[in-house]
């Protein structure tokens, strides 16, 4: 667990696919109640869907636009019998179209030095954290690579600066989580700073490339929904996940009020 003190702090978002709606709730709470927590962060790390959330915060993209985009992605996936695996559903194209429509022309300038994107290099499986971007397209390519899950998103991995990369979760799903000044976000109950509350009777957990995930039925549902949004997902269900993120972030702010009041 990390709590920001008087020194520089960073924020890190784990990959969570369609469960990214949880992050929108958490961030809306923080921006509403203590925006300094986001504005003052020296670095904002992210992996996969978490990288998209990190970019959204870094560039100040309206959360309502992000919410509508995510809902569109889930709605389109539910149209097909195989969901996101249906040949007619191209998740990476939808993500790219969303980025092209949302990112300002100077996005790479504003993101460089603050936004940090986790990638996994295909040739050797090594992790790479990218934080300097030469152009808007360069930034979009990095985000696309960070979100590309092999087979789930396609067969041929995308390229970034001439090298093929895949989802950063394959090597580091929660960048810099072990540093004391990094506040971590995860859509799964575990040991992250802001995450769903787990059962106090649960003593089992697994770690997926730095992300702590408790072994319980709720997390099984969350992990499954990460890749396959259930057909039962409607506005009310997504609103409940969003509200859960809001309440978990509010709990974090209250529990650490003595520390963050000095920021």
The model's confidence at residue 207, banded by pLDDT at 50, 70 and 90, is confident
Active-site entry in 10, 12, 28, 48: 48
Q: List pLDDT tens digits, range 14-66.
A: 999 999 999 999 999 999 999 999 999 999 999 999 999 999 999 999 999 99
Instruction: Clarify whether 193 is annotated catalytic.
Output: no
For residue 212, the model assigns a pLDDT of: 85
What span, in angstroms and rounded, lies between the C-alpha atoms of 238 and 231? 12
- Which DSSP category does 106 fall into? T
Q: Which two tokens stand for residue 114?
A: 């603050």
Looking at the predicted structure, is the pLDDT value of residue 262 above 60? Answer: no
- Given a cut of 80, whether residue 2 has pLDDT beyond it is no
- Altogether, the residues listed in the chain come to a count of 263
Does the pLDDT value for residue 68 go beyond 50? yes
Q: Which two tokens stand for residue 87?
A: 């040949």
What's CA 61's distance to the chain center, in Å?
15
Integer-rounded Cα Rg, in Å, for the chain is: 17
The pLDDT tens digits for 209-253 are 788 888 888 999 999 999 988 766 667 788 889 999 999 999 999
Specify the pLDDT at position 238.
82
User: Mean pLDDT, the chain, as a whole number?
Assistant: 90
If one compares 257 and 91, the residue with the highest pLDDT of the two is: 91
Count of CB atoms situated within 10 Å of the CB of 198: 19
Q: What is the pLDDT of residues 112-167, one digit of tens each?
A: 999 999 999 999 999 999 999 999 999 999 999 999 999 999 999 999 999 999 99
Task: Give me the residue spans of the domains in the chain.
Answer: 10-253
Fold of 10-253: Cytosolic phospholipase A2 catalytic domain (3.40.1090)
CB atoms within 10 A of CB 203: 8
Q: Rounded distance, CA 77 to CA 31, Å?
A: 30
Please say if 28 is a catalytic residue: no
Asked if 160 and 130 count as a contact pair (C-beta separation under 8 A), the reply is yes
Catalytic residue among 167, 172, 193, 248: 167
Both tokens of residue 104?
């300002």
- Note the pLDDT of residue 205: 76
Cα-based torsion angle of the residue sequence 88, 73, 10, 248 in order, rounded to the nearest 10 degrees: -140
Confidence grade of residue 180 (pLDDT, cut at 50, 70, 90)? confident
Other beta carbons within 10 angstroms of residue 67's beta carbon come to: 18
Give residue 1's pLDDT band: very low, low, confident or very high (50, 70, 90): very low
Percent with pLDDT over 70 in the chain = 91
Q: Residue 211: what pLDDT?
A: 87
pLDDT at 4 over 70: no
In whole angstroms, give the CA distance from residue 195 to residue 210. 14
């Amino acid at each position: 667990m990390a709590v920001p003190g008087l020194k520089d702090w960073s924020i890190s978002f784990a990959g969570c696919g369609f469960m990214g709606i949880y992050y929108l709730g958490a961030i809306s709470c923080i921006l509403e109640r203590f925006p300094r927590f986001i504005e003052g962060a020296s670095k904002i790390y992210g992996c996969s869907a978490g990288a998209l959330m990190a970019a959204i915060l870094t560039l100040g993209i309206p959360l309502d636009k992000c919410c509508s985009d995510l809902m569109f992605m889930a709605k389109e996936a539910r149209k097909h019998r195989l969901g996101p695996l249906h040949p007619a559903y191209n998740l990476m194209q939808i993500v790219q179209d969303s980025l092209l429509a949302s990112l300002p022309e100077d996005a790479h300038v504003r993101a460089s030095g603050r936004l940090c994107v986790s990638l996994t290099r295909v040739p050797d499986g090594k992790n790479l954290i990218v934080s300097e971007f030469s152009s808007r397209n360069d930034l979009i390519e990095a985000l696309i690579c960070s979100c590309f899950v092999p087979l789930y998103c396609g067969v041929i991995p995308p390229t970034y600066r001439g090298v093929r990369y895949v989802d950063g979760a394959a090597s580091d799903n929660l960048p810099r989580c072990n540093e004391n000044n990094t506040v971590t976000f995860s859509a799964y109950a575990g040991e992250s700073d802001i995450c769903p509350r787990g059962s106090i009777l649960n003593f089992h957990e697994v770690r997926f490339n730095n992300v702590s995930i408790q072994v319980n039925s709720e997390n099984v549902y969350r992990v499954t929904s990460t890749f396959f949004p259930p057909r039962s997902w409607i506005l009310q269900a997504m609103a409940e996940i969003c509200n859960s993120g809001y309440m978990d972030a509010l709990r974090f702010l209250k529990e650490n009020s003595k520390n963050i009041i000095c920021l």
